[in-house]
Amino acid sequence: MNVDFASLTLLVDIIDAGNLSKAASKLKMTRANVSYHLRQLEKALGAELIRRTSRRMEPTELGWRLCEHGRAIRNEMASAHETVTNLGQGLQGRVGISVPSGYGHIVMTPWLIEFKQRYPGVVLDVVFENRIDNLRDDVDIAIRVLPQPPETMVAKDMGTVRYLACASKAFAKQHGMPNELSQLRTQPIITANVVGRQLSLRSYRGDERQEVMLTPTVISDHYPFLKEVILGGLGIGLMPDYMVADVIGSGEVVTTLDDHRLSIFGTNMYLLYLPSRHRTRAIKTCIDFLIEKANTHELNKR
């Protein structure tokens, strides 16, 4: 049995991509060419590596084991190349980071500036978005608010996120503020984009769990915009605490239902990365730096 490095790498790319078409696109090959090389590898081994169905591809046990070997070898080769390339230099490389629009702007921007000042040789590619899908090729690290992290990713806890029901002082004076969760159904709600037309808002108070379905009147992925809409007196916002802490402190915005722990997308912030993807020294350093900053941030909140 003779398996070369190129064949193992091809197998890793196919399994990571999930199908031949995506693997072909990533490798800049035709689908037929990728399929041919996979068949040749299976022929050389005398065993099936991937079971094909009309809907999906699933690695066999041998396929998974060879894939893990291929990942390990490829990561070691990448590490060796990085060591040689950066010998005698400071920290080098590129780090692609996907951050939530609000948290990234309000909380993480000073952290990322400090990281760049400390490591000027690292290229930071920062995307502000709220997508929860799998990491793309250009994203090494994703920061997300989730109820539970995906099983397919490595997740580092970055602390809790508290959602607040809040409105401008003028809105509260004119319309009053609800003191029961169910009363939110009759209020104009301002919040982030949700899947579908209705928002499922969950509330925890002691041992009591409640859920109410709401239909927001203003929705956006851009939290600074939502904050301005709340200040404009257009309704009750369901916002993470870090977005409105300053205007609550100034008295421009007031809160209600403070004894409820509210949840829309989850109450925990996670740093996510794919276990199968090679992490350069720059990426590892950035992960450690962000986790340290998040831990300090959590301590300062108490």
- Asked if the model's pLDDT at residue 172 lies above 70, the reply is yes
Domains in the chain, number: 3
Alpha carbon distance 289, 302 (integer Å): 21
CATH number, domain containing residue 285: 3.40.190.10
Residue 154 and residue 19 share a domain: no
Tell the residue number behind the tokens 């590129």, with chain if given: 94
Q: What is the pLDDT of residues 258-296, one digit of tens each?
A: 999 998 878 889 999 988 777 888 999 999 999 999 999
- Asked if the model's pLDDT at residue 227 lies above 90, the reply is yes
The pLDDT of residue 134: 59
Residue 51 and residue 177 share a domain: no
First to last CA, the chain: 60
Residue 171 and residue 134 share a domain: no
CATH number, domain containing residue 211: 3.40.190.290
- Of 85, 113, 138, which marks where a domain is finished? 85
Residue 277 and residue 142 share a domain: yes
20-27 and 5-17 helices, crossing angle to 10°: 120
Residue 190 and residue 273 share a domain: no
- Of 30, 53, 85, which marks where a domain is finished? 85
pTM tops 0.75: no
Residue 273 and residue 139 share a domain: yes
CATH number, domain containing residue 48: 1.10.10.10
Residue 76 and residue 64 share a domain: yes
Alpha carbon distance 151, 157 (integer Å): 14
Q: What is the 3 state secondary structure string of the chain?
A: CCCCHHHHHHHHHHHHHCCHHHHHHHHCCCHHHHHHHHHHHHHHHCCCCEEECCCCEEECHHHHHHHHHHHHHHHHHHHHHHHHHCCCCCCCEEEEEEECHHHHHHHHHHHHHHHHHHCCCEEEEEEECCCCCCCCCCCCEEEEEECCCCCCCEEEEEEECCEEEEEEHHHHHHHCCCCCHHHHHHCCEEEECCCCCCEEEEEEECCEEEEEEECCCEEECCHHHHHHHHHCCCCEEEEEHHHHHHHHHCCCEEEECCCCEEECCCCEEEEEECCCCCCCHHHHHHHHHHHHHHHHHHHHHC
Q: Are 147 and 268 in contact (CB under 8 A)?
A: yes
Q: What one-letter code names the amino acid at 103?
A: Y
Q: What is the pLDDT of residues 2-45, one digit of tens each?
A: 667 788 888 888 887 777 888 888 888 888 888 888 888 888 88
Q: What CA–CA distances, in Å, run from 116 to 120, 128, 140, 246, 272?
A: 5, 17, 16, 26, 20
Alpha carbon distance 195, 239 (integer Å): 17
Q: What is the pLDDT of residues 145-167, one digit of tens each?
A: 888 888 888 999 999 989 999 99
The pLDDT of residue 197: 58
| % of the chain with per-residue pLDDT over 70 | 91
Residue 246 and residue 174 share a domain: yes
Residue 246 and residue 172 share a domain: yes
The pLDDT of residue 88: 55
Residue 219 and residue 153 share a domain: no
- Of 64, 85, 106, which marks where a domain is finished? 85
Longest dimension (CA), the chain: 79
The pLDDT of residue 1: 54
The pLDDT of residue 291: 96
Residue 201 and residue 178 share a domain: yes
Alpha carbon distance 153, 167 (integer Å): 37
Alpha carbon distance 143, 97 (integer Å): 8
b/e code 62-77 from CB counts within 10 Å (16+ = b): ebeebbeebbeebeee
**Domain span at residue 287?**
93-158+267-301
Radius of gyration of the chain (CA): 24
The pLDDT of residue 165: 97
Residue 284 and residue 148 share a domain: yes
